[in-house]
Amino acid sequence: MYVLLTTYPNKPRELKKFILWLVKSGLAACVQRVNYVKSYYMREGEMKQEEEKVLLIKCAKDHKEKIEKHFSANHPYEIPEMIWLHPEEVNDAYKAWVKNTGKKK
């Protein structure tokens, strides 16, 4: 099981479409959206700030590469943030649910 920590611009319609595709496609078992963070960063020698949403995307190991490809093709940022967390301690029932998401029965 993996958890992807990422951000997305504060564009509600685009973000909802992005999230729904991840879940409906079966690549993500669950996506949690955390509202309104403000990011500060340097870009091309200038201080920038952006209002964003934080996403926590839970997925099976088998879907990690497909999600990365989807981000590269569909995320609005040129370099999307993709911080992969691989928790070692996850309760068995939840881990099984995530692993089986997207599998045909």
User: What does the pLDDT read at residue 3?
Assistant: 97
CB-neighbour burial class of residue 29 (10 A; exposed 0-12, middle 13-18, buried 19+): buried
Residue 104 in domain: no
User: What does the pLDDT read at residue 60?
Assistant: 94
User: What does the pLDDT read at residue 104?
Assistant: 59
Residue 101 in domain: no
User: What does the pLDDT read at residue 101?
Assistant: 84
User: What does the pLDDT read at residue 1?
Assistant: 93
Give the domain CATH number at 58: 3.30.70.120
Tokens of 52: 């964003």
pTM over 0.85: yes
Instruction: Please tell me the total count of domains within the chain.
Output: 1
Q: Which residues contact 61 (CB under 8 A, 6 or more apart)?
A: 1, 2, 99
Q: What is the mean pLDDT of each run of 10 residues along the chain (105 residues)?
A: 96 95 96 94 93 96 94 93 93 91 67
